[in-house]
A and B are shown apart, each in its own frame.
Chain A
Amino acid sequence: MSKYSAKDKISKKLEDSIAQTNAPLTEKDDLTPDEIAKLTPEEFDFAEYDETAAERAGYSNYSYWRSTIRVFFKNKVAVTNLVIMLVLVLFTFLQPLLPNQFDPNLVNKFDEKAVWLIVDEDGKAKLSGIKYTKGDYAAETDGRNTTLAYVQAPEDWGNIKLYVQEKGGVAEEIAATADSENPGWYYAVISAEKPYMYVTSEDGEKTTYFEACWITVDEETTGVTSSSSKQTSGELIADVPEGCVLTYLYVPENWGTPKVMAGGIMRGSETSEVEFTPLEGEGNEGWYYAFVNSEQMMLEITSENGEYKGMNKGVARVTDPTEITPQVGFISNQRPNEVYWFGTNDIGQDLWSRMWSGTRTSLFIGIVVAAIEAVVGILVGLLWGYVRKLDFLFTEIYNVINNIPSTIILILASYVMRPSVQTIIIAMSLTGWIGLARFIRNQVIIIRDRDFNLASRCLGTPTRRVIMKNLLPQMVSVVMLRMSLAIPGAIGSEVFLAYIGLGLPISIPSLGNLVNKGRSLMMAPSLRYQLIIPAVILSIITVCFYLVGNAFSDAADPKNHV
């Protein structure tokens, strides 16, 4: 604490300043005659206007934009979002330049001359017509008499062996050539005469073809499924009696030990009970096995207490090895896999490239709409605010337009014009600018006659500088807020238009198209990826733009620059 009170301080300061002002008067009243003689006429010229000198008093090394950026970067959430947004936008525009990208409108079809067989750890073989290998085909085939088969097996299978046979015939080994371009892939030409193929590992221990059968009962639907691909772990049960089929059976835990009645294929044929033994070994919980006579292969499965019953009969039969035959048709509704990263849609278009192409379209629409809104809004707003005579006219126009719901204008404009990117942009730009123009007008009217602007004008600051330094910083905040809302808004309107059937044609992918397509498939749970992927990406984009815009608008507000 000072020893003087506030009042003392002020009176002391006053006294000092009075003393200072009076000092030169008492010392020297006027120039001496010698000094007057030294004066030159130039010293009495008017001083030129010097911008730096005029502004010197009020300005330090403060820079508006540097300050804005500094405030913005203090906001950690906004910075994170900015990074996500930049990465997304950058990737969206770089995606077509990446290697191995599909055309978004290309309808992909299964290859007619080759098939791809993927064997998993359990020895299950999956046949597919999707081209998993890169480069040209290793051998020439016509797809009718001969088919090129590519095979991929787990690494520990070693150099795989391929066996082909006729239906129910004797297996014959054929050569599997390792594909030099695609490590892990083997190929062989399969003739149509012996189209059934199975794969074994180098030592013959593991195989895709088992002379056994696996029957499962679903807990919810009690549906019975029979399959010949291995589903239990460990070795198969050896020494199967002649004329019998090794059958594995899985029932839900609450069924207890299953009771199985075996019968012939013919209706009303004799039935006999088959005793199933629990299977030992890890991962085999719920599995039972038995040797089923191949004459009585239809199995009726009931739970221990008879409470549950299999909906249909199981079939204890060894199925043939995988038939190698070219797949036909569109590669439609494939779930995401290594070739089609986001899967394909119902006509076989690659959703990965459609996704990014759609994001490009939607971002383009959003950015153009926001830019038009900003330019028109600022121009009209400045005119509205500065030219007092136009105020009444503009206010009336504003009242009319503002009274009409913008959704209605959007729908009507899109209804009247043909659907295209331009139509959507025009329809969305029709009303957006009016809100911004009003904001700008209000700001201009408020700030125009503020004291600091009067002071600037008195000091002779040019209008350009007044606008740039005094007006613009006050508006950046509002303009940015409106832009940040306009981009997600435009993307949302596009989705809405697509939904009510006024959106872009299907040949121009957009986020709206994709979401709408996904929505029409949402009742099929296995196809929901077509809805969820675009919806998630759309949400990330809109939320990022919104948050970044909001944060930047807060940062740009001069009130927050302290």
Chain B
Amino acid sequence: MLVYSLKRLGRALITLVILITIVFILVRAMPEEGYFSNYEKMSPQQIEVGLRKMGLKDPLYVQVGKFLYNALRGDLGISYRYRINAKITDIISSKIGISMKVGLISMVVSLPLGMALGILMARSKGGFADKLGNAYIVFIQAVPNAVYFIFIQLYGSDLFRVSMLYKETEWTSLILPVISLALPSISSYAMWLRRYMVDETNKDYIKLARAKGVPNSTIWFRHVFRNSVVPMVNLIPGSILLTISGSIYVESLYSIPGMGGLLVDVIKRQDNNMVLALVVIFAVMSILGLLLGDLLMAVVDPRISFTKKEGSR
């Protein structure tokens, strides 16, 4: 177990370093104006001095090294355009809480609903509930969420008589963002759980249990459900961590001052340092999510062998 965890951790770290380097190179290839708030008014000498002062004329490996060193000490650099000369960590720390609040509420809503839908669909396989659920899943999967989010905002605010935009003081203004975030998660939880459960019911031991005369409800909840929930565990840490990065689309649609909306803002203002910092944070979250998911799987499911080279994948 320990060896497996260490290996998995090591691989995550390597991925992270490679990723940061790539992102670094890409962002450094952007125009220099993304490092100054008043680029248009500056003379070439001033720009030269400014760039040198920020260490942007150093060789790339020095820059990457410095960035990693500072990042480990909790310093992600300074924003020059989004909020002039503000520390990026300060900007971000005020936003993480809001993103997490919205994300966690929607997860609390969508997990039980998604699982209930998945079970319902698996039990009535081929029946009406299954077909209806499938239509819902197909719609959510096929239509870009950018499109149905707009309509949720447009008609939802009339339907529930709530504000179209996020207001800190009104909890009702969270209803629509939570619905928007929950709809796709419900469909994906339901889809996976249904698939795992259907696979499980076709296995021989279930047939044996049936032949022995085990009651249907026992088969479903003692055998099928328990075994199919295990792979779902893999998804959960990732989902929790990803709430930090927020949903780029939903947050900017409802003007929620969270992390996802922030990324769109800084891209529009071409703040290179902020883009770099945010991309790194998002990537760390997702890598960490996958890592925790794998480790949790290994804890929950004793069948995953730690000696196998591929691990849980």
Q: How far is the CA of A317 from the CA of B144 in the complex (A)?
A: 54
B286 touches A411 (CB 8 A): no
Question: B286 and A403: CB pair below 8 A?
Answer: yes
Q: How many angstroms between the C-alpha atoms of A546 and B283 in the bound complex?
A: 29
In the complex, whether B138 has a CB less than 8 A from a CB of chain A is yes
A543 near B138 with CB under 8 A, answer yes
Contact B150 A535 (CB under 8 A): yes
Assembled-state Cα–Cα distance A405/B286 (Å): 7
Interface pair A501/B268, CB less than 8 Å apart: yes
Residues in B whose Cβ lies below 8 Å from that of A491 = 144
Q: Are B146 and A399 in contact (CB under 8 A)?
A: no
Q: Which of A165-173, A177-185, A492-500 contacts B (4 or more CB under 8 A)?
A: A492-500
- Known A-B contacts A499-B249, A515-B147; the reply to A405 vs B275 at CB < 8 A is no
Q: Which of A401-436 contact B (CB under 8 A)?
A: 403-405, 407-408, 411-413, 415-416
Name B147-165 residues within 8 Å CB distance of A.
Answer: 147, 150-151, 153-154
Interface hit among B23-31, B75-83, B188-196: B23-31
Residues of B within 8 A of A124 (CB): none
Name B146's contact: one of A396, A405, A485, A499 (CB within 8 Å).
A499
Asked if A495 meets B146 with Cβ closer than 8 Å, knowing A403-B12, A405-B283, the reply is: yes
Query: Given A405-B282, A416-B26, A500–B151 Cβ distance below 8 Å?
Result: no
CB <8 Å contact, A411 and B19: no
In Å, the complex CA distance between A415 and B264 comes to: 11
Other contacts beyond A403-B290, A499-B146, A531-B150: 17, CB < 8 A? A400-B14, A403-B287, A404-B19, A412-B26, A415-B267, A416-B26, A416-B29, A485-B141, A492-B145, A500-B267, A515-B147, A522-B153, A535-B150, A539-B142, A539-B147, A543-B139, A546-B141
B147 — which chain A residues lie within 8 A by C-beta? 495, 515, 535, 538-539
> Is A515 in contact with B146, judged by CB distance below 8 angstroms?
yes
Contact A522 B287 (CB under 8 A): no
- How would you classify the secondary structure of chain B's contact residues: helix, strand, loop or mixed? helix
Task: Report if A321 contacts B (CB, 8 A).
Answer: no
Q: Which residues of B contact A403 (CB under 8 A)?
A: 12, 15, 19, 283, 286-287, 290
Partner of A546, one of B142, B252, B290: B142
B18 at the interface (CB under 8 A from A): yes
> Is B3 located at the chain interface by the 8 A CB criterion?
no
- In the complex, whether B248 has a CB less than 8 A from a CB of chain A is yes
A400 closest partner in B (C-beta): B15
Residues of B within 8 A of A404 (CB): 15, 19, 283, 286-287
Interface size class of A (residues with CB under 8 A): 35 or more
Report the Cα distance A399→B312, complex, angstroms.
12
Task: Name the B residues within 8 Å of A399 (CB-CB).
Answer: 11, 15
Q: Which residues of A contact B263 (CB under 8 A)?
A: 411, 500
Residues on A lying within 8 angstroms of B by beta carbon are: 395-396, 399-400, 403-405, 407-408, 411-413, 415-416, 485, 488, 491-493, 495-496, 499-502, 512, 515, 519, 522, 528, 531, 535, 538-539, 542-543, 545-547, 550
Query: Shortest distance in angstroms between B181's beta carbon and chain A's nearest beta carbon?
Result: 15
User: Are B138 and A501 touching (Cβ within 8 A)?
Assistant: no
* Docked pose: A488 CA to B26 CA in angstroms: 28
Residue of A nearest to B280 (CB): A408
A493→B144 CA distance, assembly (Å): 8
**Across-interface contacts of A501 in B (CB, < 8 A):** 264, 267-268
Contact B154 A522 (CB under 8 A): yes
Q: Is B150 a contact of A538 with CB atoms below 8 Å?
A: no
> Any chain A CB within 8 A of the CB of B279?
yes
Check B211 for interface membership: any CB of A closer than 8 A. no
Task: Mark contacts of B161-196 with chain A using CB atoms, 8 A cut-off: 1 yes-contact digit, 0 otherwise.
Answer: 000000000000000000000000000000000000
**Chain A nearest CB, measured from B294 CB (Å):** 11
Residues on the A chain within 8 Å of B15, using CB: 399-400, 403-404
B72 contacts partner chain A, Cβ-Cβ < 8 Å: no
**Residues of B contacting A495 with CB < 8 Å?**
144, 146-147
Q: Which residue from chain B places its CB closest to the CB of A395 in the assembled complex?
A: B310
Give every chain B residue within 8 A of A519 (Cβ-Cβ).
150
A–B Cβ pairs within 8 angstroms, 30 of them: A396-B11, A403-B12, A403-B15, A403-B287, A405-B282, A405-B283, A408-B283, A411-B263, A411-B279, A412-B26, A412-B275, A416-B26, A416-B29, A492-B145, A495-B146, A499-B252, A500-B268, A501-B264, A501-B267, A501-B268, A515-B147, A522-B154, A528-B154, A531-B150, A535-B150, A538-B144, A539-B142, A543-B142, A546-B141, A547-B142
